[in-house]
Chain A
C-alpha cells in the first residue's frame, strides 16, 4: 500500500468525481465503440435471425426446451443481487467501507436487471406477445395466470427494477447537486433536472436519511424474495433434480456470491481506469474478499446438501439425474464449477491474497464463470434425464446461443461505460463522511 502524499481533502473528492465524468479520452471512446459493436454483432443480429426463423436457431430440442437463454437470465438476475442488497445491508449495519463502492455496485444491479429482461425476450417463442404477461385490462378480458411461478417472476422483477432504480437515484440526488455546480452545457442541464433543486439544508438531509433507511429496509426482503421466486421457476416443477426445497436458499446465496464477485471485477476496472485509487483501496478488496469467502463456504455446503439429499433419497429419478450431472456428458463442466467456486476461493483465507488486486480480479472472474456454469448445468442436466427414459436426450447450445451470451455481456459493458460518464460513480457525500472532518482552527484536538 502506498502512503498518500497529501491527505485527501473534501474539495479533492468533488474534483476527482467531476473529472471522472467530464474527461473522456480516446481509450474510452474506443472501448465504448468495441462494446457497442460486439453488442450489435453478437446479440442483436443473431437475435433478429432467431426472431425470423424461430427458436430452432438455438440448440433446444424435445426434452431440453429450456436452454442457455434461461441460464443467462438467471445469471444476470443473480449478478444484480449483490449491488443493491449488499448496499442496503451494509447501510443498515452502518459500515463505513461500503461508502466508496456502493454507487457502482447499485449501477451494476440496475444494468444486470436490464440485460436479464432482454434475455427473457430472447428466450420466449413469440416475444411480440410478451405484453400479455402484464396485467392490463384488455378487450379480450384475459388476465395473466397469477398462480404461475413465472408470473411471480414478472411481479418480483418489476418491483426489484423499480426499487433499485429509485434507490440508486435517491442516494445520488446530493451528488447530482454537487456535480451540477461544476459542469456546463448539456451535462449541466441534465444535472439540474436530476438534482431536483437539492440544496443540502439540514431539513433535506434529515428527510433523505429517513427515506433512504426505509428504502433499504424494504429492499432487503425484496431482494431475498426475488431470487427465491426465480428459483421457484424450477423448484415448483415435479421433475427430479429440480424439485428440491433447497433451491430458494441455493439461488439466493449463489446470487449474492456471483454478484459480489462481479463487484470485485467492477471495482478493479473503476479503480484502474477512472483514477479512483484514493477511494477504492485494498481495504475494500479485503472486505469483499472476506464476504466472498463466507459465501463460497455456504455455497459449497448447499451443493453438498443437494447432492447428498438426492443420493440419500434413493429415488431412481433423483439418482439418475445426479449421476448424469456429476459423471455424464457435462461432467467436465460440473467439476470445473466445483473447482472455480468451491476450491479456488479458499485462496482468500490469506489476507495477502485478498489485498492483492490482480489475483482478486482473476478469482472474481473465475467465480463468475463457475456460477454461470452452475446455472447452465441446472438447465442442461435436469431436463435430459427426467422420469421416462425413452424421452432422455442431450442438449448442446448452438452458435447463436453462445453468441448471444457474449453479446449480453457486451451489452452490460456498454451500459456501464455510458453510466460512468453520466452518473457520479463514486458517491461524493458518503466518501466525505468517511474522511476526517475538518477541525476547528487553533482548537486543541478532541474539542
Chain B
C-alpha cells in the first residue's frame, strides 16, 4: 500500500476515540473478594510463571518488591474486633490507561485484545508510566537479577528475563494466551473456548476467587461475573475503564 493509502485508511479508521472498543478478545478478570483468603498462592504462581526475580531481604526492606500481583491488606478496628480485607492488585489493563500515553518511546500500548502490553525491548526506563499509574502496579528492575544454580532450571522458557532498567508488570500471562491462540488455530481456526486459557494466578487460586475470560463471549463465566450486583472497579472515579472487576466482600455484620 502506498504511503498516501496508508495515511487515508488510518485516518478513517482511527480518527474517532472508541475505535479500540471493538476488541477481538476482550480479556477480563474478576476477583471475588468474598472468596479470597489472602493465601498468596497467586503471587507465588505469578513469580514462577513469569520469571520474576527474588529480590532478597535487603531490597524488600528498601521497598523494591517485584511482585506483579500483590495482596493488599487493610485492617479495620482494634484487637479482638479486627476486620482484615485482602485485595489482590494486579495490572488493571485499563482501556484508557494513563500509563500508555506517557511513554516517550511507545514501549507500552493497548493491543487488539484489550491488553495493556509492555514491550521490554523498547523501554528506556524513564519510569513515568509507574508514576502515572494510580494503582501502582508497575515495577521497575533496579538491578540485573540472577538465579543461583540450579534455580535457573526453573525459569519459564516462554518468557524473557528482563535486564536492569526496564519496566514490567502483569501481562495476563500473554504467553499463555498466545499459546492458546496457536492451539486453536492448529485445531482448525476455531476461537479460544471459555476456560481454555488461564493466567497462572487464576489457575492456582485455591478458592477460585480469580476468574479470567473473554467478556465478548456472552456465555463465558466472566460475563456472568460482570453481571454480579457486587461488581465494582477499583478507583472507578478516575475513569480508567479497567478490565479487572472486583466483587465486593459480603460483610456479615454490616448494618
- Report if A and B touch in the complex (beta carbons < 8 A): yes
* Chain A residues engaging chain B, CB cutoff 8 angstroms: 53-56, 59-66, 123-127, 129-130, 132-133, 142-145, 147-151, 153-154, 233, 236-239, 242, 383, 386-391, 393-394
Query: Given the complex of chains A and B, what is the CA–CA distance between A389 and B240 in angstroms?
Result: 19
Is B89 an interface residue when CB atoms closer than 8 A count as contact?
Answer: yes
Whether the Cβ atoms of A126 and B165 lie closer than 8 Å is yes
Whether the Cβ atoms of A393 and B164 lie closer than 8 Å is no
Whether the Cβ atoms of B72 and A133 lie closer than 8 Å is no
Is B131 an interface residue when CB atoms closer than 8 A count as contact?
Answer: yes
A-B pairs with beta carbons under 8 A, tally: 147
Interface residues of B in 32-76 (CB under 8 A from A): 59, 62-65, 70, 72-74
Kindly identify which residue among B166, B238, B240 contacts A125, using a CB–CB cutoff of 8 Å. B166
Contact (A125, B89) CB under 8 Å given A62-B63, A143-B106, A388-B136: no
Q: Chain A binding site: helix, strand, loop or mixed by DSSP?
A: loop
Kindly identify which residue among B89, B101, B124, B130 contacts A148, using a CB–CB cutoff of 8 Å. B101
Kindly identify which residue among B87, B104, B132 contacts A237, using a CB–CB cutoff of 8 Å. B132
Query: Count of chain B residues with Cβ under 8 Å from any Cβ of A?
Result: 46
Whether the Cβ atoms of A56 and B128 lie closer than 8 Å is no
Is B171 an interface residue when CB atoms closer than 8 A count as contact?
Answer: no
Q: Closest residue of chain B to A127, judged by CB?
A: B124
Kindly identify which residue among B72, B123, B141, B164 contacts A390, using a CB–CB cutoff of 8 Å. B72
* Chain B residues engaging chain A, CB cutoff 8 angstroms: 59, 62-65, 70, 72-74, 87, 89, 98, 101-106, 122-128, 130-132, 134-136, 139-144, 163-167, 234-235, 238, 240
The CB with the most chain B CB atoms within 10 A, among A63, A143, A237, A393, is that of A237
Whether the Cβ atoms of A65 and B132 lie closer than 8 Å is no
Q: Closest residue of chain A to B164, judged by CB?
A: A54
The CB with the most chain B CB atoms within 10 A, among A56, A143, A383, is that of A56
Whether the Cβ atoms of B101 and A147 lie closer than 8 Å is yes
28 contacts across the A-B interface (CB closer than 8 A): A55-B165, A56-B142, A60-B127, A60-B140, A61-B63, A62-B136, A63-B136, A65-B131, A66-B128, A66-B131, A125-B125, A125-B140, A125-B141, A133-B105, A142-B105, A142-B106, A236-B101, A236-B132, A239-B131, A242-B131, A383-B131, A387-B238, A388-B134, A390-B70, A390-B73, A391-B135, A391-B136, A394-B63
Q: Closest residue of chain B to A393, judged by CB?
A: B63
Whether the Cβ atoms of A125 and B127 lie closer than 8 Å is yes
Whether the Cβ atoms of B102 and A150 lie closer than 8 Å is yes
Q: Contacts A142-B122, A238-B132 given; 12 further ones with Cβ under 8 A?
A: A56-B64, A60-B140, A124-B126, A145-B103, A148-B101, A238-B98, A238-B134, A239-B132, A239-B134, A388-B234, A388-B235, A391-B72
